[in-house]
Amino acid sequence: MEYREKLEEYVGEQLKGYAKYNELSLADVSHVISIGVSVLETKHPVIGPGYGGGGFVEALLSNDLEATFARADSTNRKYILFYVQLHVNFSPYLIGYRLTDQEVQ
């Protein structure tokens, strides 16, 4: 399984846990998973495609609250807490990623 698929699965599982305590719209699920994957790939470029996320993701990861809300669409505005929890609690090791000798240097 590719790392992107593992990330999508991981984000989906985290979203299920989030939904236990917060309202979740089924119409939002695929969008939230997509943005969640972008957040993790941008924070950990070694597991991502090698380019950063959009303005919303960059603002979120830069801890710029004003820009995060300004750049969020109506769906993302509802899930900012989820994205913050996601990126704070994630490690590439959770999806089986291991650094290669080249990446360690």
Higher-confidence residue of 95 and 72: namely: 72
* pTM (2 d.p.): 0.84
Does residue 16 lie in a domain region? yes
Does residue 102 lie in a domain region? no
As a whole number, the mean pLDDT across the chain is 86
Does residue 89 lie in a domain region? yes
The whole domain housing 87 covers 3-21+28-93
Does pLDDT of 40 surpass 50? yes
Does residue 81 lie in a domain region? yes
Q: b/e for 10-46, b at 16 or more Cβ within 10 A?
A: bbeebbeebeeeeebeeebeeebbebbbbbbbbbbee
Does residue 40 lie in a domain region? yes
Model confidence at 99, pLDDT cuts 50, 70, 90, reads low
Specify the number of domains making up the chain.
1
What integer pLDDT is reported at residue 82 of this predicted model? Answer: 94
Does pLDDT of 62 surpass 70? yes
